[in-house]
Structure 1
Amino acid sequence: MVLKLYGFTTSTCTLRVAVVLKEKNVPFEFISVDLTKGAHKAPEFTAYQPFGQVPYIDDNGLILYESRAICRYIAAKYASQGTPLLPTDPTATALFEQAASTETSNYDPFVSGLAWELKFAMWFGGKTDEAPGNDITLADLFHLPYGSVLLGIGLDEFSSRPNVARWWKDISSRASWEAVKGGI
C-alpha cells in the first residue's frame, strides 16, 4: 500500500511533509482535505487526527500526525533512499536537534502568526487584525538602542521599507527616547 498524505494543497504543514517525501523519493497518494469547507473538523477526519489539523499520514495502517513527527519518521524509515536528512553521528545529531528546536521555538511561532494575520485569515473570511500592531509595547522600545546604533554607523534598514520607516519614526521620536538617547 502506498503512503497516503491527508492535507490541504497549500497548507504550510502539509507542504513541510510533502517536501520531505519528495526529498526521500517516497511515492505517496495525496488526499485533499478541504479546509475551506471544514472537512478537517468532520468526525471522519478527527477520528484519525483528533485536533482537526492537517496533515496526517496513513503508512500501511500507521496513522501519524504532527508534521515534524511525520517528517522525522519518513527521514528515518527511508534513510537509505533520497537525500540523507537525519545525521547518524551523535554530535551531528545534537546539532540537528538544536537547529530543529530553534526552528520550532524561535522561528515558527513568529512567522506562523504573521502568515495567519497577513494571509490565511482572509482565506477563511476574516480580515487582518492590525490592532495588536498599533499600540506601543516594550517590544517596540527594545529596538531603539541597537536600531539607533545601526543608523549611526550608516546601516539604514528602515527607510527602504515604508511601514518599518513609519514605525521607526514613531518610536524614535518619542519623548522618552529623546530624553535618553544621548546617554543618561
Structure 2
Amino acid sequence: MNVFVLCTGRCGSMTFVEASQHLTNYTAGHESRSARIGAARFDYPEQHVEVDNRLSWHLGGLGRAYRDRDVLYVHLRRDPEAVAQSFLKRWDSTFRPSIIRAFGHGIVQRVRDWPEERRIDVCRHYVDTVTVNIEEFLRDRPSMSVELETVAADFGRFLDRIGAEGDRAAALAEWGVRHNSSQ
C-alpha cells in the first residue's frame, strides 16, 4: 500500500513524517520527489508514506498514476486560520521555492509586492484553495482525515488503518515535538 498525505503545509506535515519513520513496514518521506517532473514525480516505492503539500497541485497525475493500486490518501488538517498565520510568518523567507510566494505571485498573478495588510488575505486564499482541491480530489477515493487538534486519536486510527508495525509509542511521541516550526 502507498499512503499519500495531502495538506496545505504548516499543519504538522514534518511531524507526520518523523512519526511515520518509526514504522518498520513502511518507509516515509517528505517531499522526496518534489524536484522531479513527469512520471518520475509519482514513482514512489511500495509500502511508503509520502507527505508533500505540493502534491495538491499534481492531483490529476497522482490519481492517474495510482488509479488501480492499493492506496490510502490522508488529508492532514489544522485550523485554517492558524495555517494562514503560520504562512504569513514565512512570507519574507529567503527560501527560493517558498510555496506561499509562488502562490501569491505566480498562481495569483501579481508582479508587484503585496502590501503587508493584504498578505494575510493571500495566505487565507492559499489555504482555502489547497483545502478545496484536496477535498474534491478525495471524493470517492480511499481516504481519511487526520486533524492536528485531535492528532493523538487520529494518528492512532491512521496506524490501525494501514496495519502499521514498529514502535507505535515512539511514533505517537513525535507529536509532542515541534518540527519545522515558524518563529
Both structures adopt the same fold (TM-score exceeding 0.5): no
State TM-score, norm by structure 1. Answer: 0.33
- The two structures have a TM-score, normalised by structure 2, of 0.33
Q: Quick check: which has more Rg, 1 or 2?
A: 1
